[in-house]
Amino acid sequence: MADNFFGNIVAPDAITKYGGGTGGEGLLKFANNLLKLAVVVAGIFAFLNIIFAGYSYMSAGGDPQKIGKATEKIWQSLIGLLLVAGSFVLAAIFGQLIFGDWSAILSPKIYGPE
């Protein structure tokens, strides 16, 4: 019997740029990139939401109902930004408390057989 039953399996080119996929590093880098993309999208969404709510606030024309809706939308966007930023701060604090490294949760490393 051969040592390697399935033969020589080569990782696709898209995987090799993320570390070859050995030991899980590639998957972690990919997930990290997805997390960064989600944070950027959340920031852009909140920024646009604040701009549109500000425009609604300015064009309310003194109508208390429209002003209230615009103010509520601005506050919700700011709270959303605070939650996104706060999650990174909490992850860093928990990483320091549990693992002794500020980036342990934000940039995890998988150690395996060499």
pTM to 2 decimals? 0.65
Helix (H) or strand (E) holding 69: helix 64-99
- Of the listed ranges 14-23, 55-64, 75-84, the one predicted with least confidence: 14-23
**For 34-75, what is each residue's pLDDT tens digit?**
888 998 899 899 999 999 999 999 999 889 999 999 999 999
Using alpha carbons, list the distances in angstroms from residue 102 to 14, 27, 91, 98, 106. Answer: 30, 21, 8, 10, 8
Between residues 16 and 55, the one the model is more confident about: 55
Between residues 25 and 102, the one the model is more confident about: 102
